Amino acid sequence: MAEVIVGGGDRIVLRTGPTGQVQIDFAVEIVPEAPPSPPAPALPFEDIVASIPVNPHAPNPPATPGRWAFRTPAEIRGITVHHTGTHDYLALARYCTGPKGLPTTQYTYFVTANGEVLKCVDDAVAFWHDHGGYRNFRISIGLAGWLHKTPPPPAQITGLARICAYLLDKYQLPMSSIVGHRDVALPARVNTECPGWYAPPVGCGWKPDFDVALTAATANV
């Protein structure tokens, strides 16, 4: 008797019968195909953390040189929205790590004028960004441009709403946890119009447009 393994568990068995003739038996194992894995949900941002300039020798803040402090997911309490005064996120990061002497940029996410969202720093990095103290327990989102005189384009508001909705869901935060830089800075006695969404004359009043976009975005998470 001879046995031939064909593959995938299939076998062909050759036997010699009483008359000397060869008999062929088949043993076929049917293995069902595994169902395809569902595609991972699309993230509302592009991760560019590896391309952001860093300063390994930065003396500021008062932690290990060249490093910000860290926070756990459970310690993340909200989101602070900023405008950055620039459309060049790399130049912004070079300014933070150069003249400002910081370990990296001060914005976890950067939203371009066309609504593209770039992840610049890991969510766990608890850097200083809104006069809310250090370690900071709020995620920092920076918007391209000066937005206290000219409102952001609709695409930029949509991009901001999408990343905020994603973060609210990820960290189980209420909508009320999203604030502007000014909301945190004024109690610290620092006056700023950032991110420019306040009513005139402080800003140009685009916060209601963001609220509508956020409501729509959270419904689709």
User: CA of 185: how far to CAs of 28, 148, 188, 189, 194, in Å?
Assistant: 73, 16, 5, 6, 9
What's the rounded mean pLDDT across residues 183-207? 96
Q: What is the pLDDT of residue 163?
A: 98
pLDDT value at residue 64: 64
Task: Kindly report the pTM of this predicted structure.
Answer: 0.82
Range 94-105 average pLDDT: 92
pLDDT given for residue 59 in this prediction: 73
Asked whether the predicted pLDDT for residue 36 surpasses 70, the reply is yes
Cis peptide before 103 (omega within 30 of 0): no
List all residues 6 or more positions away from 185 whose beta carbon is below 8 Å from its beta carbon.
130, 131, 191, 192, 194
pLDDT beyond 80 at 186: yes
> What is the secondary structure of 146-170 as a DSSP string?
-TTTSPPPHHHHHHHHHHHHHHHHH
pLDDT higher than threshold 90 for residue 137: yes
Query: Quick check: helix, strand or coil at residue 175?
Result: helix
Q: What is the pLDDT of residue 33?
A: 73
Structural domain spans, the chain: 1-30, 46-219
Most confident of 6-15, 59-68, 119-128: 119-128
Q: pLDDT category, 77, cuts 50, 70, 90?
A: very high
Indicate whether 14 pLDDT > 60: no
Provide mean pLDDT across the span 181-203. Answer: 96
| In the predicted structure, residue 23 carries a pLDDT above the cut 60 | no
Q: What is the average pLDDT value for the chain, to the nearest integer? A: 87
Least confident of 25-34, 67-76, 100-109, 112-121: 25-34
Cα 142 to chain centroid distance, Å, stands at 13
Output the pLDDT for position 60.
Answer: 62
- In this prediction, residue 95 carries a pLDDT of 95
pLDDT at residue 26 tops 80: no
Fold of the CATH domain 46-219: Lysozyme-like (3.40.80)
